[in-house]
Amino acid sequence: MSRPREFNVDQALDAALDVFWAKGYEATSLCDLLDAMDLSKSSLYDTFGSKHELYLKAIDRYVGERTEGHERAFLSAPSGRQAIEGAFRQIIEDATGKTPYQGCFAMNCAMERAQSDDEAAERVKAAFKRYQRNYEIVIRRAQAAGEIPASKDARALARFLTSSAHGLHVTAKANPDREVLEDIVSTILEALD
């Protein structure tokens, strides 16, 4: 062994993730990252390779650690229906609470980079697939409990809810008006009846 790291890798990655989340990839400069991560340029390149590799690792961290908590809460809600309602209500709270609303990092990546960055696109696609899978799980549970008609196609509904959440994020970013968001969420939830 030799001289140990003076910084925590995951902590630095979290800081980088927050910067990319707030500013996007292109608008984030090395300087922004170094300031937020509080390390030197050589440490960043030794540890993370490049700005782009760091970005990909930040996506991985978001999809992994950063999302785990929400996912666990989502899947262990009292009922499938409550999981869904809770998730959408939470978006409204987040959007109308702190300003500016940063939305979903994976979705931001999809919008900015999916067309030009295959590695980012692949990760985003996987993240969306996971969202959809989780929706499908709670939809089936809700159907089993009679909260959603069993006649509905669970996968189609899951696809719809995933897309609806995306739309809500966009709407919230452009105009975080609670009344508007409530209208949208109410209509989305009615589609489950």
CA distance 70 to 104: 12
Within 8 A by CB and 6+ apart from 57, the residues are 13, 16, 48
Answer yes or no whether residue 110 interacts with a copy of itself by CB under 8 A: yes
Does residue number 151 form part of the binding site for DNA (CB under 7 A)? no
* Under rule CB under 8 A, residue 188 binds a copy of itself: yes
| Of 2-10, 45-53, 56-64, 161-169: span binding a copy of itself (CB under 8 A) | 161-169
3-state helix, strand, coil in the chain (%, to 5): 75, 0, 25
| Cβ-based nearer residue to DNA, 28 or 108 | 28
| Burial environment of residue 96 by CB neighbours within 10 A (0 to 12, 13 to 18, 19 or more) | middle
38 token code pair: 């509080």
187 binds, among DNA, a copy of itself, none (CB under 5 to 8 A by kind): a copy of itself
From the list a copy of itself, DNA, none, pick the one residue 186 interacts with, judged by a Cβ distance below 5 to 8 Å according to partner type. Answer: a copy of itself
The binder of 188, among DNA, a copy of itself, none, by C-beta within 5 to 8 A per type, is a copy of itself
CA distance 167 to 183: 13
115 binds a copy of itself (CB under 8 A): yes
For a copy of itself, the closer of residues 43 and 171 by Cβ is 171
Q: Does 11 bind DNA (CB under 7 A)?
A: no
111 φ, ψ to 5°?
A: -70, -40
Residue 39 makes contact with DNA by CB under 7 A: yes
- CA atoms of 72 and 88, how far apart (whole Å): 16
119 makes contact with DNA (CB under 7 A): no
Reduced 3-state DSSP string for 72-127? HHHHCCCCHHHHHHHHHHHHHHHHHCCCCCCCCHHHHHHHHHCCCCHHHHHHHHHH
**Residue of 107, 139, 142, 148 interacting with a copy of itself (CB under 8 A):** 107
Q: Is 133 in the site for DNA (CB under 7 A)?
A: no
Which residues contact a copy of itself by CB under 8 A?
22-24, 26-27, 100-103, 107-108, 110-112, 114-116, 121, 124-125, 128, 153, 155-157, 159-160, 162-168, 170-171, 173-175, 180, 183-184, 186-188, 190-191
